[in-house]
Each structure stands twice: as structure tokens, then as C-alpha cells.
Amino acid sequence: MIGKLREFWNGRILIIARGGQLARFVNEGIRDGVVFYKTQKSERGLRAQVQIKDFAKLRRAARKTHTRVHILSKYGWPFIAARWWRRKSLLTGILVIGIALVSLSQMILSISVTGNTTISSQEVFDSAEKLGLKTWIWQSEVDLPQVSKALLEEFPDAAWIGIDQQGTHIEIKVVQKIRPQVTGEAGNLVASKAGLIQELIVIQGTPLVHEGQLVKEGQVLIQAPYYVQQPPGAIPKPDANAKPKETVPKAAPAAKGFARARVWYSAEAAVPLVEDRVEESGQTAKGWGIKFGSRVIMVTTPESPFPFADQEVKNHTWTLGRNWHFPVEIVSINYQELRTVHIERTQDEARLVAEELAGAEVHKKVSPGANILEEKVRSIPQSNGEERIRVEVETYEDLAVYPNS
């Protein structure tokens, strides 16, 4: 192996020598320091391999013994290198393309914004650019989690902003806050939920409710200062304002303030005392096969080994580029055994399960970050053999939000 490699590295020339004194030719060559490899005599002459540097030394021996030496073929790295050297421009081209590919793949080439409804994509792009996230910069230069955090602070209407990187593409995923649909209330603060106002702090605008008042969802809490928003003589007609309004008007001052209120949430869950349920037994089996067109030939486990099973089918395709798919696919099927479980619960057990379910459901509704004041669990008597539990949660939170107009 090493010998072969050295042979390749040094380069060999396969020669054929013709003449009457071939043995003497070899002897003379050896005297001049030539090393012959794989020397063989045939009716056409003497074939041998010599190293490149030895080839020139053969000339004296050939002249002395009247031997004609021809090159049959050349083998080895020096010849390949010479060939490539002649194609320098091609080589540089390949190198340039390689460098360009590598460096371009290290950059951010495109940015998209998805999931935004009222926030304009351009605004997100602009803010992102200010935070250092733009196209044609190195990926390592941006701290994406930092940017998403900063973006979230900049857009009060976004509940969550995530930045997803797929190669050179950056996707800014925006999840907007769901606000009560109240038309024509832009700039006003409205109640996001029904609740009992406990504390009302007005920074700007006119309060329309008072502490201790029960408000409905969507009810205006604080009205935007009108006289500033619409100076005399420049009152726009409501019909002319057809284009979608921004959630938070930037030009005109919006109402500002807090409305902390007590809010009640509740959820119910019922759990039967006797139940037949289908669930996974934990037994699994795997099989794989070959798919050609619409035909599937299973190689292992052709049939589900379980009487009842869920099956998860995965196709593994080879794709070339975007559009070409290898016609043969590998299919792997994961069988998961299902079994029917008969459950009998005592009243207490059923209650516990129902309480857990209802609790989980109610906590999904509670706005994140709300102060939970009280949690009540109530059992609702039922006659149909199930336990119904109602969980009530009372929170203290800020209700004032800008509505979607």
C-alpha cells in the first residue's frame, strides 16, 4: 500500500525499448543509477517502468547501445499535477466557487417575517436591522436569541417573537396577541377580559370606568385624548380612513394607563367511574420495506404483529436538488400495540383525576404572569356515574389593552 502510494506520488513512466542489446542497455542504465521496475521482455521489446527523474539518465545508455526508447504511458501525481497546472483558470474557478459557496453559506441571505397580522413586516425588518439582523452579514455576528428578545420588547403587540434559522434563511416568527375585536377604538385601552376593576391608573386619556366597576370584555376603559389626536381643521372623515389602521397609533397619542382587576376563570372536567379506554401498551415493533411508486414491499415484519396497533409510517427519500426524487423509497413502519384498559375508579380517585384535568384546563386560560389570588375546587353532583369537578381561579391582573381595530 505504502509502496503503491509512493509510486503514485513519485510518478512512473512506462517505456518500451527496442534494439539488439537490451541486456546491455539495462546494465548501462543501472550503472547510471536508473532503477527499473516491472521489467519484462516480449517479442516487441523490453517494457519497463522508470521514475521520472531516471528517464533522462536513460539517454546515454540508449545512445551507447543503439536502443530506441518510447514512452508508452505516464502514471502518477506529477503528471496529474501538470495537467491541472495547465488548466489553472479552471482550478481557480473551482476554488473561487468553493470559497464563494462556503462564505455565502456563512451569511444571512434572506429574512422573512411570518405570522404577523397587524404588525407590518417592514416594521419588523427595520427594527431587526437596527438590532443588527439584516441580510449580507455573517451569521456569527448576530445573537439571534438576543435579537428576538429585543424585538419582543419593541413590539408590544407581539406575544412572542421567535427567530428560526434554516441555513442562510432567517424566519422571524411573530405570534400576535389576541385582542378583543372592537372596531373604531384605536388608541383606546379596552378590557381584554371581563373583570372587576380594583385599581385604575390613568397616565394619558380619560377614564370611562371607575374602581369597583364590573367591566365586560372589550369595554373601553381609558379613552385616548381626542383633542390632541385630531386637531381642529384637520379632522379626517371616517369613510376616507379605509386603509387598515395601526393597532397603536404612532402619530396620535394613545391612551395610557393600567386597569388592574380581579378576573375569574373556570373550567369543568368530568371523569366516569367506570371506563374502557384504548391506550398504548408500550410494545412496539419496527419493520422496513421498499416502496416503488405506489407498491410497497415489506422486507421485515410484513404484517403488524399485534391485533390492535397504531402504525406510524415514515418514508425516506433521496432527493437531488429540489425537484428530482429517487424513484425507490425506503419505508419504515413503527407499530405500537394498542390495548383496551378497563378502569374502575372510586369516587375519590375520579374526583382527583377530574380536578387535575380541570386545573390544567383553567391554567391554560389564565393570562401568563397573572397573580393568582384564589383557587376553588367544586364538585358538581351528577347522577350518570361520573364525577364532575369545577375549578375556579381568581386572579389579579392588568386588563387594559389596545384593541384590534
Residues that bind another protein (CB under 8 A): 23, 26-27, 30-31, 33, 35-42, 48
Q: Give whichever of 18 and 245 is closer to another protein, judged by the CB atom.
A: 18
Question: Quick one: 17 or 151, whose CB is closer to another protein?
Answer: 17
Min CB(37)–another protein separation in Å: 6
H or E segment to which residue 88 belongs: helix 88-105
- Cα-trace Rg, the chain: 41
Whose Cβ is closer to another protein: residue 38's or residue 70's? 38
The letter for the amino acid at 249 is P
Nearest CB to another protein, comparing residues 41 and 83: 41
| Helices 58-65, 22-31: crossing angle, 10 deg rounding | 140
CB of 43 to another protein, least distance (A): 10
CB of 298 to another protein, least distance (A): 52
* Spatial separation of the C-alpha atoms in residues 65 and 62, rounded to whole Å: 5
Question: What kind and span of H or E run contains 267?
Answer: strand 256-272
Instruction: Name the helix (H) or strand (E) containing 165.
Output: strand 158-166
CB of 321 to another protein, least distance (A): 49
Complex with another protein: residue 38 or 59, whichever CB lies closer: 38
Q: Which is nearer to another protein, 31 or 83 (CB)?
A: 31
Grid cell in block for residue 139: 451569521
- Minimum gap (Å) between residue 35 Cβ and another protein: 6
Q: Minimal distance in Å, beta carbon 77 to another protein?
A: 20
- State how far the Cα of 31 lies from the Cα of 225, in Å rounded to an integer: 109
Q: Sign (positive/negative) of CA torsion 234, 239, 243, 248?
A: positive
Q: Could you tell me if 221 and 401 are in contact, meaning their C-beta atoms sit under 8 angstroms apart? A: no
Residue with cell 396497533: 309
Cβ proximity of 261 and 198 under 8 Å: yes
To another protein, the closest distance from the beta carbon of 330 in angstroms equals 47
* d(C-alpha 194, C-alpha 365), whole Å: 13
**Judging by DSSP bridges, how do beta strands 295-298 and 274-292 pair with one another?**
antiparallel
Shortest reach from residue 285's CB to another protein, in Å: 55
Residue 60 or 245 having the CB closest to another protein = 60
Whole-angstrom distance between the N-terminal and C-terminal Cα of the chain? 78
Q: Which CB sits closer to another protein, 25 or 402?
A: 25
**Contact call for residues 218 and 191 (beta carbons, < 8 A):** yes
Judged by CB, which is closer to another protein: 47, or 177?
A: 47
* Amino acid letter, residue 139: Q
Q: How far is the CB of 41 from another protein (least distance, A)?
A: 5
Neighbours of 61 (CB within 10 A): 22
